[in-house]
Homo-oligomer: A and B are copies of this chain.
Amino acid sequence: MENNKPFLEVLQGRKTDRIPFWFMRQAGRYLPEYRELRSRKNGFLDMAFDSGAACEITLQPIRRFGMDAAIIFSDILVIPYALGQRLEFLEGEGPKLERLRTGADIAKLNPGLMERKLSPVYEAIAKVSSKLDDKTALIGFAGAPWTVATYMVEGGGSKDFIAVKKMAYSDPQTFAALIDLLVESTAHYLIRQVEAGAEALQIFDSWSGVLDSDEFRKWVIQPTKQIVDLVRDSYPQIPIIGFPKGAGYNYMAYAEGTGVNVLGLDSQVPTKWAARVLQPLKPVQGNLDPIALLAGGDAMKLAAERIIADLSSGPFVFNLGHGIHKDTPVEHVEQLVKMIRS
């Protein structure tokens, strides 16, 4: 694939003169222009499913900071929503879903509605794609089946993941049916994003860290590999970034077992270890602690310098290890961008 977008160059395993960067949750509440737009809309879903608003929000950080990649403004929970599960985003409370507890609950989910329900996402991608300059790439994304399933079974965020783990441990057939449905629908969703104009994909497995190594293989590695294979059947060249947040010592198995092209690193991953062990296998992306960015000053500077020093001799995309926190001062982001660019 020939192109002159530094982000995509790195994802193909090539080194570039400048370090490409973007930040997870770069379009979000820390930006005054986002808060302004949000104040005129009726909650998160109203923004995500209005293709004009989603396009505008996606572009806001690019205008301000000139990231090397935009990521479409959406959420990993649009898949349960598109499958017919009730979903609300309550101000200050996080997502609430109607809980799935039985095989009958899962059987009621209906992939037939997906195309219509998700069409605003594809429209937004097409709009963003037409507006980006020829240096800036567009990322599509989805949640990994395990992480999306935790929300679907727990009915929202969780502290100890009892309901979903109990289903996985006690009724693995029923849980596998849910995971299989998520594999199919997520692969389809990612393929449609590529058709609409996404030039790279990221798979977020935010809760991969709560599983032991056997369960990690079953519910993280295998489903992710199936998705990667399905997407590659349609788009063999599309770069796919895997982000198994908190995977710890299971990271290596993920790198070897899933077939993703690029490894997203959470903040915990030691960069010297990543440079020695992971980067020779695949390009890496990460991993500044978002709270170092929120704190700013010397701590942010030293942490970012260490990351750049350790990882920039191989193919590397600078990013955070998790999403930007809403209380992050915009000036800290400006300072970080200056550092990366210099």
A→B interface (CB under 8 Å):
160-162, 165-166, 168-170, 172, 209-216, 246-251, 253, 267-273, 287, 289, 291-292, 294-297, 299-300, 302-303, 306, 321, 325, 327
Contact = CB atoms under 8 A, between A and B. Distances in A.
Contact of A209 (B166, B215, B268, B292): B268
B303 A214 contact: yes
Contacts of A267: 212
5 contacts: A165-B289, A212-B303, A213-B268, A214-B306, A253-B270
B161 A291 contact: yes
A297 B170 CA distance: 7
Nearest to A306: B214
Nearest to A289: B212
Contacts of A299: 168-170, 172
Contacts of A325: 160, 162
B291 A166 contact: yes
Nearest to A302: B214
B212 A268 contact: yes
Contacts of A269: 213, 248-249
A247 B211 CA distance: 14
A211 B270 CA distance: 10
Nearest to A163: B291
Which one of A162, A248, A292 has the greatest number of beta carbons of chain B within 10 Å?
A248
A253 to B, nearest CB: 8
A291 B212 CA distance: 11
Contacts of A270: 212-213, 249-250, 253
Residue from the set A165, A253, A327 with the largest chain B CB neighbour count within 10 Å: A165
B291 A162 contact: yes
Contacts of A306: 214
A26 to B, nearest CB: 18
A16 to B, nearest CB: 25
B249 A212 contact: no
A299 to B, nearest CB: 4
A7 to B, nearest CB: 23
Contacts of A251: 248-249
Q: Of A211, A253, A291, which is in contact with the most chain B CB atoms at under 10 Å from its CB?
A: A291
A21 to B, nearest CB: 18
